């Protein structure tokens, strides 16, 4: 029970890495807030956690909207009395080269993937400081380290998360730790809808020769959000099956 008694908000937790992390955190004793726009799948995760004896709450949240992020934090504090962990995990992406990318698509990618992490952190930092401790975890990506075809806005947003992580870690130590996790090719929604050719390229580039799972990323997130990593802050932890050591 590495998170016993903790309160954790996870954005984008209705599916994929976020859902796997929510389930694991709940099994480790955390009271979990699933913040997502997908109410049906978000409530399903809540029910799965409750069936295992955990505590979870769904809060409908469009992370591109400042007022909804502020409401998310206020509702969590109101119900659970505080916030110990914020996992900024939501993202949005569209595959287009830069010259074909609409300004609105650029703005949406950065709003959901990067600006939301800024605003979510902005609103949880005061209650964390009042409590004297807290952890902020940002889901970046190997896109932060490597340029991918037809992903200019997403590459920029994920790289920006690394700078944001370092800034928060520096400004709010020692009370608050901030770290980033960088997944590689994970067998969740985006990978599953990719073409077979794209999937095979990912497999060839991953040294371990397989896709990672949401559960494997969740276990890395658990390490970074628990006292197991009490001397880790401002770090970028790559969990990519060896993709970046080859490419």
d(CA 173, CA 69) in angstroms, rounded, equals: 23
Counting residues of the chain whose pLDDT is more than 90, the rounded percentage is 93
**Is residue 134 within 8 Å of 124, Cβ to Cβ?**
yes
Helices assigned H by DSSP within the chain = 16-27, 39-51, 66-80, 103-110, 116-131, 152-172, 189-192, 196-205, 214-225, 243-246
Counting residues of the chain whose pLDDT is more than 70, the rounded percentage is 97
Q: Is the pLDDT of residue 204 over 80?
A: yes
Which of the residues are catalytic?
154
d(CA 18, CA 216) in angstroms, rounded, equals: 12
**Class at the top of the CATH hierarchy for domain 7-246:** alpha beta
User: How confident is the model over 56-98, as pLDDT tens digits?
Assistant: 999 999 999 999 999 999 999 999 999 999 999 999 999 999 9
pTM of the model: 0.96
Q: Which two tokens stand for residue 81?
A: 């009395």
**Is residue 21 within 8 Å of 33, Cβ to Cβ?**
no
d(CA 47, CA 73) in angstroms, rounded, equals: 22
How many other CB atoms are found less than 10 A from the CB of residue 234? 16
User: How confident is the model over 221-236, as pLDDT tens digits?
Assistant: 999 999 999 999 999 9
Domain residue spans of the chain: 7-246
Provide the pairing of β-strand 31-36 with 134-139.
unpaired
User: How confident is the model over 105-135, as pLDDT tens digits?
Assistant: 999 999 999 999 999 999 999 999 999 999 9
Summary mean pLDDT of the chain: 96
């Amino acid at each position: 029970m590495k998170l016993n008694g903790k309160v954790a908000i996870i954005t984008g937790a209705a599916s994929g890495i976020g859902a796997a992390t929510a389930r694991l955190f709940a099994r480790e004793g955390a009271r979990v807030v699933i913040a997502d726009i997908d109410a049906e799948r978000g409530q399903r995760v809540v029910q799965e956690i409750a069936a295992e004896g955990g505590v979870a709450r769904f809060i409908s949240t469009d992370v591109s909207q400042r007022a909804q992020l502020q409401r998310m934090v206020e509702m969590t504090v109101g119900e659970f009395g505080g916030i110990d962990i914020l996992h900024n995990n939501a993202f949005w992406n569209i595959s287009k080269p830069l010259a074909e990318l609409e300004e609105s698509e650029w703005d949406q990618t950065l709003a959901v993937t990067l600006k939301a992490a800024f605003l979510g952190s902005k609103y949880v930092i005061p209650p964390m400081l009042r409590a004297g401790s807290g952890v902020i975890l940002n889901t970046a990506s190997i896109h932060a380290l490597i340029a991918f075809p037809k992903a200019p806005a997403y590459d920029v947003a994920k790289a920006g998360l690394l700078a944001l992580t370092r800034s928060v870690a520096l400004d709010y130590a020692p009370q608050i730790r901030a770290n980033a996790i960088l997944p590689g090719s994970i067998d969740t929604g985006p990978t599953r809808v990719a073409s077979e050719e794209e999937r095979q390229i990912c497999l060839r580039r991953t040294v371990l020769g397989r896709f990672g799972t949401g559960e494997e990323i969740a276990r890395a997130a658990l390490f970074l959000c628990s006292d197991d990593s009490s001397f880790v802050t401002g770090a970028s932890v790559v969990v990519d099956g060896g993709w970046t050591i080859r490419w």
